[in-house]
Amino acid sequence: MTSADIVSATDLVRRYGEGEAAVNALAGVTVAFAAGRYAAIMGPSGSGKSTLMHCLAGLDRPTSGSVVVDGVELSSLDDRRLTELRRDKIGFIFQSFNLLPVLTAEENILLPLSIAGRKPDRAWFDELVQTVGLTDRLKHRPSQLSGGQAQRVAVARALVSRPAVIFADEPTGNLDSKASAEVLELLRRAVDDLGQTVIMVSHDPEAAAVADRLVVLSDGLVVEDRATQVAVA
Ligand SMILES: Nc1ncnc2c1ncn2[C@@H]1O[C@H](COP(=O)(O)OP(=O)(O)OP(=O)(O)O)[C@@H](O)[C@H]1O
């Protein structure tokens, strides 16, 4: 790990089950992610991608090994502090959008701040809404939005608190190719223009192609880790 790394894992093991039936979803993963970069994690089904992301994001605790997020060792935190760390330092984007149906797009975007009792920075909110192209959809509820629009709300929600890192779990998994391209472009801009760090799990080679780096898992181990060729627009 170098000082520019925002997330790192060392010798990460996550075992499920006991005895003969035990599965090492992660079998000893050491990997670090630089701030201000876009990394994609790929690999076959069952290779440990979701488990790795959940351990890195403090949603799951590893059996052994350590995770450091923005200088904080996660195993040193009790559940309450871990929740606070997720709230303060991490943005999440899920395949299924995870918007609250009773809230408008604007309320969904501002929810992480409301929960943290923080006031929105209005200029930043306006810039985000413009960046994600939702200016005329702010009063709509999720059921009134297309999948692509809903995921753009989720991207804005992940960015609104300017987290140290954004984890995206199959963010294009429920989108058609046009909406997928828009969401990937937004994540790319979040890194290039807004200085964010994105770590994304994806099955989609086109999604991985927009990242700076590709980490490939197989059987709970990193089997490939390389810079990707980012197309120059
Ligand atoms: N809660 C659990 N209990 C038991 N085994 C689990 C559990 N969660 C995951 N596993 C096992 O751990 C391994 C890794 O699962 P994981 O979901 O991390 O893979 P993945 O690469 O994200 O797969 P996919 O691409 O299908 O989502 C698999 O063998 C899976 O069956």
Domain 36-61+77-227, classified CATH 1.10.3720.10, yes or no: no
Beta strands at 213-218 and 198-201: parallel, antiparallel or unpaired: unpaired
Instruction: Assess whether pLDDT exceeds 90 at residue 214.
Output: yes
CA of 28 to the centre of ligand 1 (A): 15
**How does residue 1 score in pLDDT terms, banded at 50, 70 and 90?**
low
CB atoms within 10 A of CB 227: 10
> Which atom, in ligand 1's list, is nearest to the CA of 201?
22
Say what the pLDDT of residue 116 is. 87
Residue closest by Cα to atom 17 of ligand 1: 50
Rounded average pLDDT over 167-178: 92
Query: What does the pLDDT look like over 43-96, one tens digit per residue?
Result: 999 999 999 999 999 999 999 999 999 999 999 999 999 999 999 999 999 999
233 has a pLDDT exceeding 70: no
Q: Is the pLDDT of residue 231 over 70?
A: no
